[in-house]
Amino acid sequence: MEPVPSLWQATAPAFTGGQAGGVEGRYDVAVIGGGFTGLSAALALARSGARVALLEAGAVIGAASGRNGGQCNSGTAHDFGALASAHGVDKARRWYLAHCDAVDTVERLAREEGIDCDFRRAGRAKLAAKPEHFTKIEAAYKLLSSEVDPNVSLVDPDGLAQEIRADGFYGALIQHTSAQLHVGRFGVGLAHAAARAGAHIWEQAPVTGIKREGAAYRVETSRGAVSASQVLVATGGASPQAPFGWFRRRIVTVGSFAIATAPIDAALVDHLFPGRRNYVTSRIIGNYFRLTADNRLVFGGRARFALSNPASDLKGADILEKAMTRLFPDLAGTQIDHRWGGAIDLTQDRLPRAGEHEGLYYAMGYSGHGVQMATHMGGQMAKVMGGDADANPFADLAWPAIPGHLGKPWFLPFVGAYYRVLDYFQ
């Protein structure tokens, strides 16, 4: 059963730059995966003069890159202080700034390629869901502003109505360089840009095998095979059928679910969302939401600890609609036009991974920050493959397998129960 398109996929133009014939030929680089990582890498590599083949199992932007919440946020998935304690201030700063650079990369590509994707520096508001969460947010603000990011501000509980009017929040941390965009139009525009630069893009060409043949690789698909001197694996949580077991043992793929309302009356939008930012809540199992250019509310979260499929997406949508109306009673009865699910590829420590394994280059595991980091790391890995090893900010991160994990996340319900308990007590 085919997944229901996301809002972004349903309202994006078609990609018309793909290859019609069988997969064949000799290339400098084979890129596996047609999401933001693969497309940005293909564009950068083709512009550098490389002959590039991009192989996508389904349609470009058909998976996580086109099925997210449309937020493009600065900063890591971690509290900066905790990251600095675990890895040192220098590394924490480097990784934080890489996430900020990634938002710049998305903006630059949209501008350079003339991609009409509603890119806007909206800023992100992290909303304190409990009074004690505001205390933590206040401490985070002081550390961020002094150590790494001058573009943050703190909103105390009394001033929150100037940003958002919702029940149950107690202040916010604003990261002003965060942005939002129409990820479907951006992704299709990126694919057309890569094709214009000379990359050959095959859709509906799942990779079934990779074999070393002398100094090159033979990359086999259901539609034929190519030979390439280098290979970039940009698949994220690859399907069980694909030959990427080493990566699957290091990534946990979890479902993330979203809904989009019909356009909301402008006066009500002005009342509820005067800041018109990206919003995330401070709970472990929290929500994220934002407005679109035509005043739809995109509201998402890990509504269920389950993988995305058509039945699961509908169950998740029901949970999200109830959560939305709890926060915003004025939206009760608002029509829901789109319901969808997607995937978040988590590493055990929620830091991205990029590098080389047994001759194969890779970048993945963005842990909920994929819109910006995937786009950025595709270009950075293109530089690495061209000889600039310093372009990879995550090069020195070890990546051990997750104990007991062979690819299918059988433990998701137990993780969900554990996080719900943490949310209750923290």
Q: What is the pLDDT of residue 423?
A: 44
Q: Is 2 exposed, middle or buried (0-12, 13-18, 19+ CB in 10 A)?
A: exposed
Point out which residues pair with 120 in neighbouring strands. 180
pLDDT, residue 23, reads: 98
Q: What is the pLDDT of residue 307?
A: 67
Residue 305 in tokens: 């600890």
**Rounded distance, CA 15 to CA 21, Å?**
16
pTM recorded for the entire structure: 0.94
The residue length of the chain stands at: 426
pLDDT attached to residue 426: 52
Q: What is the pLDDT of residue 133?
A: 94
What's the pLDDT at 43? 98
Residue 406 CA: distances (Å) to CA of 237, 238, 399: 12, 12, 15
What are the CA-CA distances from residue 154 to residues 120, 164, 176, 183 (Å)?
21, 14, 11, 28
Distance CA 247, CA 249 (A): 5
- At 376-413, the pLDDT tens digits run 999 999 999 999 999 999 999 999 998 877 666 544 45
Low-confidence ranges of the chain (pLDDT < 70): 1, 238-241, 284-285, 303-307, 406-426
